[in-house]
Amino acid sequence: MCGPPGSGKSMLAGRLPSILPPLVPAEILDVSRIASIAGELSDGRLSDRRPFRAPHHSASMAAMVGGGQRTRPGEVSLAHRGVLFLDELPEFSPAVLDSLRQPVESGESVIARANYRVTYPARFQLVAAMNPCRCGMAGEPGHTCARGPRCASDYQARVSGPLLDRIDIRVDVPAVSAADLLTLAPSETSAAVRARVEAARRIQAGRYEALGLPNTTLNAHCSAALVERVAAPDAAGTKLLREAAERMAFSARAYHRILKVARTLADLAGTETVGRAHLAEAIGYRVATERPVAVG
C-alpha cells in the first residue's frame, strides 16, 4: 500500500487478521512454541488468534530475523502463521529489509553464527506501507514537492529490487477527505470477507490433498513446477500472460507469483480454470503503480 499520511494504510493492515481464518490446533502449537522461546507467552495461555507484528523502523537485523548472544526468534518468526506489517518501509535500514528476502522465499529464518546454527519457522504474510515520497504528498492534487520528482525517486530507491520482486500486490491508497467520510456507502463486514477467504482456502487444501500433498495447503506455498500445473491458464489467459511477460520483462519469480495470485483469484471466485480476467487482475496488481509497497 502506498499513499499519503492519513489515507488509512495502517488501519487496513491492522484489520487483515480479522479476515483470516482461526488457527487450527497444529498451528496454535507452532505459534505458541515460538512465543514461549521468545518469552512472550502470556501466563502460559495458548491463543487461536493469528499473530500481528508491527516492528518500528529502527529495528535491528537481530530483532527482525533473530539472533543475539542468547539466540531468540525475531519478528519474522513471531509473525509465523500471521502478519508482519512494516510501516514506513523505506525508513528501515536497507540491510534489515534485505534480510527479509530469505524468510519470505523459504518460510524459515536461518541464523548462522560461529558457534551455532538455528532455524526458526517464518511462514508469514508480509504487508508493507509507505508514503509516496519523503514529504509524503507526491502526486496529491494541489501539492508540489520542493525537491521535485527526485523526492519520490530517492525515497523509493531505499527498497531494493530483489525485495520488491518478492512482493505480489502493489496498491495505491488515495487520500481520504472529510467529504468522503460523510458519504460512506454500505460495505461488507470482516466476517463476510473472512467467509470467502475460508471457502477459498478449503478449495486449495482439497486440491493439494487430492494431489497427495497434504502439507501444502495454500497456493502461496506450492513450488514453481506445481503452480504451473494447478494454475495453467486457458488459451486467452496464456496469450495475455505471454504478451505481458515479453513487454514488461517479468523475472521467472514474478511469472510464477503472478500465476499464484491468479490461481487464488480464481479460487475466490469459485472457478476451476484460471482465465484471462484472473491473470489481467494479477498482472495489474503487480504493475499498476510505480510506488513499491505491497502485500506478499
Convert the pLDDT of each residue in 182-228 to its tens digit: 777 778 889 999 999 999 999 999 999 999 998 888 999 989 999 99
Domain contains 90: yes
Same domain, 80 and 149: yes
HSE-up of residue 124 (Cα within 13 Å, Cβ side):
33
Domain contains 155: yes
Of 146, 176, 206, which residue constitutes the final position of a domain? 176
pLDDT one-digit tens code per residue, 107-152? 999 998 877 889 999 999 999 999 888 877 665 666 667 676 778 8
Q: What is the pLDDT of residue 292?
A: 39
Same domain, 81 and 135: yes
Q: What is the pLDDT of residue 63?
A: 94
**Residue 259 predicted with pLDDT over 80:** yes
Which distant-in-sequence residues (6+ apart) come within 8 Å of 71 by Cβ? 111, 113, 116, 118
Of 149, 176, 203, which residue constitutes the final position of a domain? 176
Same domain, 120 and 232: no
Domain contains 280: yes
Domain contains 185: no
Same domain, 172 and 195: no
CATH number at residue 25: 3.40.50
Same domain, 223 and 79: no
Q: Where are the alpha helices (DSSP H) in 56-108?
A: 61-65, 75-78, 94-98, 101-106
Number of H helices and E strands in the chain, helices first, is 14, 7
pLDDT one-digit tens code per residue, 237-257? 999 999 999 998 888 999 999
Domain contains 108: yes
Between 217 and 287, name the one with better pLDDT: 217
pLDDT confidence bin for 41, thresholds 50/70/90: confident
Distances (CA, A) of 164 to 27, 89, 94, 118, 167: 28, 11, 12, 27, 5
Same domain, 228 and 94: no
**Residue 7 predicted with pLDDT over 60:** yes
pLDDT confidence bin for 83, thresholds 50/70/90: very high
Same domain, 93 and 228: no
Same domain, 166 and 196: no
Which strand ranges, in their side-by-side order, compose the sheet holding 83-86? 52-53, 83-86, 125-128, 294-295, 169-170
Same domain, 26 and 161: yes
Same domain, 146 and 64: yes
CB 133 within 8 A of CB 152: yes
Number of structural domains (the chain) is 2
**Residue 165 predicted with pLDDT over 60:** yes
Q: What is the pLDDT of residue 293?
A: 37
Among 31-35, 250-254, 274-278, 292-296, the least confident range: 292-296
- pTM value? 0.89
Domain contains 292: no
Domain contains 181: no
Among 78-82, 185-189, 269-273, the least confident range: 185-189
Q: How many CB atoms lie within 10 A of CB 276?
A: 17
Provide the 3-class DSSP secondary structure of residue 214. Answer: coil
**Residue 234 predicted with pLDDT over 50:** yes
Q: What is the pLDDT of residue 139?
A: 59
Q: What is the pLDDT of residue 290?
A: 43
* Structural domain for 262, as ranges: 191-287
Same domain, 168 and 205: no
Domain contains 94: yes
